[in-house]
Structures are given as structure tokens and as C-alpha cells.
Structure 1
Amino acid sequence: MKKILYLFTIVLATFTAMAQNNNIITPQVNVTGEGSIKIKPDYAVLTIGSEIKDVDSAKAKQKNDEIISRMIQVIKKKGIDEKDYQSQRVNLYKTREYQENKDYFVANQTLIITLHNLDIYDKLMSELIAAGANTINDINFKSTQTDKYASQIRAKAILNAKKKAEDYANAIGQSIGKALIINDQSTVNTPRVYMMKAEMMASDSAENKQTLAIGEIEILSNVNVVFELN
């Protein structure tokens, strides 16, 4: 019995010593790093469609289908590849106008168009509206170079964090060691336009005026890095 108790005491002491060693706090320096760049978009994703309201469900759907058909013809005439446009949703539902105390049917359909030639944006929008499009849900400008630049900016953010850590360590006569934790908080901010009625653009578009400023895409990389402090 004494022998068992003696062995248990040794094992307990060993685990206690190990736990104490594991609880030793490694000196650390915690910093953030930043990197950013602005690039010009080279394509856009348009979400545009039609919505028709009628007391007759069949008429509502028929009118909406006719508009969508004309819109697709416009898209084809502009030379946009079939893979670059598709229907997002098709809806037909009943709604009540309580002020009129009357029931209506609403038919709507949305097309998503990936436009690689931004030079035809205004002309395309003008012709889609002339074809009957009356809802614009989203216009999102993007760049095919986003991933390329994002990789560069992430590296820049890490180097920025490292430089900060070295500055702090040098100020107290120490140096930094390996990175212990890296927490990425990168974002891509793209110019967008949401939920607007196509009629708002109709007058300008009809005269082939520029109706929307494309702006720039901003790629931001923010990292939080914990370095070992020597």
C-alpha cells in the first residue's frame, strides 16, 4: 500500500511540474498590419428585370414574359455570350391593395447579366429599359485582377505588422521571433447600386448620357499578428 502511495505521489508531482511548465507565459507583442490598393473595375454584374401587376394572373405573367423576351433579344444583339446571362428568379403571386380593397397578381422575373465590355453599359441599359425593364436590383462592378492584387496586399499587410513589431521590440532592447498567431480581416469594397426603378434612369439613358460613375474597387488587408518576443 505504501509503495502504491509512493508511486502515486511521484506521478502527481511529475504532472504538477509539467503543468507549471506549460503555464509559463511566452513574452509576446501583438500588432496590426495594413495594406490597401485601389483598382479600376473591368466588368460588372447587373441584376435587372421586370415586374407587372394585373388583376388577371395570366395577363400579368404574359406581359412580364413578353418584356423578358425583348430584354433577352437586346442582350443577344449586344453580343453578350449565353453563359453570361441567366434568370435569377421567376415569381407569380397574389397581393391585396387594401386602399382599393382589390386583389392583384404580381409577375416578376430577374436577369443576371455579366457585362465584360463596360463601354456598352449605358447603351445596354437604355435599350433594356426601352424593352420594358422596370426594376434594377443591383449593379456590382468587379475586377478580374482582384485575387492577384489581394495576394500582394496581404503580403504588404504582414510586412507592415512585422515592421511595427520590430519597432516596439527595438525600443525596449529586444527582438521578435516567430509569428504565433495571424488573424486575417481583409475586405474588398466594390462600387454598387441597389434597388432602383429603371424609370429613374430612362430620360438620361434615352439620350445616351453617362448614367453611372464606375468608381474604383478598394482592396483592404488588415491582419492581427502575435509575434514571440525575445
Structure 2
Amino acid sequence: MKKSIVFLVCLFTMIGYSQEVKLIPQINVSGEGKIKIAPDQVTIVAAVETKGTNAKDVKKQNDQQMEAVIKLIKSMNLPAADYKTKRVSLNPQYDYEKKKHTYNASQTIEILLKDLSKYDELMEGLVNQGINRIDNVTFQSSKLAQYQSDARKLAMKDAKMKAEDYVSVLGQKVGLATVITDNSQSYYPQPVYGAMRNMEMKADSSAPRETMAVGEIEITANVSVSFKLE
């Protein structure tokens, strides 16, 4: 008897629930927004490496070369907040064939250059003052947040346009959005990697040099949207 009562209660509950649920006509679409912009600043990660048999002398030489690099940066009137030391190391290395130690000192500095017209001057000056390794060069935009917002708006417009295209042949209209899902991937500036060891850069005073092709940055936003149909 108890089992019969429980069954009837469950049955009436399911019937009541099924009467309450109403299917809402809707359409699910995706949208994409893309913006291409020219970068207006660049981050340079560069290092001074020195080697020798005496740790103290190796470190001293490394410090002197990095001091010259920092003086160069200051002479170009870069704000103090736009450059910083990233890594400092002094490591022993043992040559098993010659059975003796050598030492490798390294200092890495990161520079944010907001005036791209100074790029060639800065890069040439860095090498002349002792930089012998360029780890990467990353072109960026100072207005990234604004452009990401613009890309998201374009993605929403694209989604709504797609929905209107689909339902136009059905004699229906696109209503309110019920669910919005951001599918955008996090934006990471793509670095240009390179290595410069024991380089000598000679300036040609007779003609300006151009060693940089910055191209464009592409910012993309992706969204999924569910719209009610009217």
C-alpha cells in the first residue's frame, strides 16, 4: 500500500512538472569580431653575457657593460618605469677535458619602448654598449583593452546578424538574448625571437636604416549567444 502511495505521488509530481515546463523557441549562434591594428610600442628583452676564468673579473666586466647599457637608456630619456633588470646570474662551468673552471656571468634587462621611431637607434646602441644577446622583441598596443572591447562588440553584432539571417526565411524575429558565452582566448602578444652573439653593428651615416617591419596585431573575440524567437 505504501509503495502504491509513493508511486502515485511521484506520478502526479511528474505530471505537474511536465505541465509547468514550456519550450521556448530559440536559436543558438556564434559570432566573431576581428580588429587589426598597428602596434605603437615594443618590449625588448636583452642580456649581457661575459665569460672568463676568474669569477670576480667576469662579474666586474659584466657589471661595467650593463652600466653602460643603462646609461644609454637614460640618455634616450626613457622613463625609469619602462626598463628593469629581470635576471642576474654568475655560474661556474667545469671543463673536464682541460680540468679547469670557467665562469659565466649574465644580466638580463627588459625595456619598454613607447616611441617606435627610436627602435633602430636603441637596438644599435644596446649592441655597441655590450648587449650580446637579444632574447625576444614583442610588438604591442598601448590601447589593447579598448580594442578588445571593440572586438567583443563586433562579435555580438556578428552573432545577431547570423541569427536574423537564419530566421528571416521563417517569418520570425530575433528576440532577447537569453544566454551569452564568451569563448575568446586570452590575448598574448607574439614575440619575435632572435639571438645576437658577438655582434658588431656599423651605422651608415649617409642614409637612414630601417630594420623593423612591425606589421599588424590581430585581436579576435568569439561569443556564443542564444536568442528567443518571436
TM-score range, shorter chain: 0.7 to 0.9
Instruction: Give the residue type in structure 2 aligned to 1:54.
Output: G
Bigger Cα displacement from structure 2, 184-193 vs 85-94: 184-193
TM-superposed CA distance for 1:45, in Å, is 1.3
The amino acid across from 1:109 in the alignment is: Q
Q: Distance in 2 between matches of 1:28 and 1:197?
A: 58
Aligned match for 1:206, one of 203, 208, 214: 203
The alignment's TM-score, normalised by the length of structure 1, stands at 0.83
Aligned to 1:54: 52
**Which stretches in structure 2 are left out of the alignment for 5+ residues?**
none
Report which of the two has the higher share of helix. 1
**Preserved contact between residue 176 and residue 229 of structure 1 (Cα < 8 Å):** yes
How far does residue 85 in structure 1 lie from its aligned partner after superposition?
0.9
Contact kept, 8 Å, 1:47 with 1:139, in 2: the verdict is: yes
Alignment of 1:1-230 (within 5 A): 6=5, 8-17=6-15, 27-97=25-95, 103-177=101-175, 178-186=177-185, 188=187, 190=189, 192-197=191-196, 199=198, 202-203=200-201, 206-207=203-204, 209-229=209-229
Partner SS, residue 79 of structure 1: coil
Q: CA RMSD in A?
A: 2.9
Query: How many Å separate the matches in 1 of 2:100 and 2:16?
Result: 78
* Partners of 2:180 and 2:223 within 8 A in 1: no
Could you tell me how far apart the structure 2 residues matched to 1:37 and 1:191 are? 16
C-alpha contact (below 8 Å) 1:181/1:227 kept by paired residues: no
**Counterpart Cα distance in 1 of 2:168 and 2:11:** 40
- TM-score in terms of structure 2 length: 0.83
Q: In 1, Cα distance between the equivalents of 2:24 and 2:96?
A: 68
Which segments of 5 or more consecutive residues in structure 1 lack a partner in the other structure? none
SS state at 1:150 partner: helix
Identity %: 34
* C-alpha deviation, 1:63, in angstroms: 1.5
1:112 Cα offset (Å): 0.8
- Change in 2 beyond 3 A, CA 1:224/1:89: same
Q: Choose 99-108 or 44-53, whichever is displaced more.
A: 99-108
Say if 1:134 and 1:20 are closer, same or farther in 2 by CA, change over 3 A: farther
Q: Contact 1:189 / 1:219 at 8 angstroms: preserved in 2?
A: no
